[in-house]
Amino acid sequence: MKKAYLFPGQGSQHKGMGLDHYRFDNEFKKRCEQANEILGFRITDIMFEGTDEQLSQTRYTQPALFVHAAALFESLSHQPDMVAGHSLGEYTALVAAGVLKFEDALNTVKVRAELMQKAGEEQSGAMAAVIGLTDDQVESVCREMTGDADGLVVPANYNSKGQLVISGHEEAVAHAMEKLKEEGAKMVKKLPVSGAFHTRLMEPAKKELDGIIDKLEFHPPKALVYSNATGTASKSPEIIKTHLKDQMLSPVRWTQTLMAMHEDGAMHFIEVGPGSVLQGLVKRTLKNVGISGFQ
């Protein structure tokens, strides 16, 4: 039975995540202390004792989630058949598949988080979750609401059937939210983020991050790696690198990723990291598969 390992992105973080592992698993603790040294600050203090407001800041959220999930996966000593990560989680997936070294990925995640927070501060944006409409309906409303240079709104996350996230300029997102309610959405909820992630508003961040990614050494993967940007698998280091660079501006095609994994033989899906968000998305997307998690 093929197993697919999934790694979460922003939204799964919570105060105290990883604390028990840190206390009772020496290898997990060593990885965390290494991360503190690489980052130049104690991310573990923020993970274990920081306020919710502090932990929700992108510059801290992304390294915290990466460190927790990557260190936890290592401690499991499991060999996956296939891996995927949701947005930030794609970096964790690449470490789990042996494509990137932990140190290289963490350094890149640190810069990614700082760039994305900066981009959000310089070009404010918004994101909103939409439940109860088809992909076509949401895409149509986004096209209708997208106008001039300051009127962008696009699908950013295809999370599961009937659950999407839209992203873009604040006013355009607000107008789209009202229109989506009129179209019959069961729920439309603004998300607590400061930036329009996975849109062209992240272009300044992408340009700088691309230069860093180009300098990384991408190794042949030990498992199939599924890309957020395409929802498809690859075992080519060069293709994986290209897809990782595309990720910043592309929507997260998570529904397509889960379906492709299942079509490729995955019968058990294992979420590694805090929370159970991805397990819920698997339940809403696939039938008759095993689902579990390690937190």
The per-residue pLDDT for 149 is 61
The per-residue pLDDT for 52 is 87
Interacting residues of 121 by C-beta distance below 8 A, sequence separation 6+: 194, 195
Active site (catalytic) residues: 87, 198
Q: Decide which of 119 and 187 is more confident.
A: 187
Give residue-wise pLDDT tens across range 221-279: 999 999 999 999 999 999 999 999 999 999 999 999 999 999 999 999 999 999 899 99
Instruction: Give the mean pLDDT of the chain.
Output: 94
**Lowest-confidence pick of 32-41, 89-98, 188-197:** 188-197
Give residue-wise pLDDT tens across range 198-225: 999 999 899 999 999 999 999 999 999 9
Domain ranges of the chain: 2-121+200-294, 125-190
Give residue-wise pLDDT tens across range 64-103: 999 999 999 999 989 999 999 999 999 999 999 999 999 9
CATH code of the domain occupying 125-190: 3.30.70.250
pLDDT at 194 over 80: no
pTM, to two decimals: 0.94
Q: Is 71 helix (H, G, I), strand (E, B) or coil?
A: helix
**Lowest-confidence pick of 54-58, 191-195, 235-239:** 191-195
Residue 110: what are its φ and ψ, rounded to 5°? Answer: -60, -50
Sheet holding 2-7, edge to edge: 233-234, 224-226, 82-85, 2-7, 266-272, 290-294
The per-residue pLDDT for 148 is 64
Alpha-carbon distance of 51 to 31, in angstroms, equals 23
Give residue-wise pLDDT tens across range 146-183: 876 668 999 999 999 999 999 999 999 999 999 999 99
**Range list of β-strands (E), the chain:** 2-7, 82-85, 126-131, 153-160, 163-168, 187-190, 224-226, 233-234, 266-272, 290-294
Domain with residues 2-121+200-294, CATH architecture: 3-Layer(aba) Sandwich (3.40)
What's the pLDDT band for 285 if we cut at 50, 70, 90? very high
The per-residue pLDDT for 121 is 85
Give residue-wise pLDDT tens across range 14-24: 999 999 999 99
The per-residue pLDDT for 150 is 66
**Token pair belonging to 138:** 């949401």
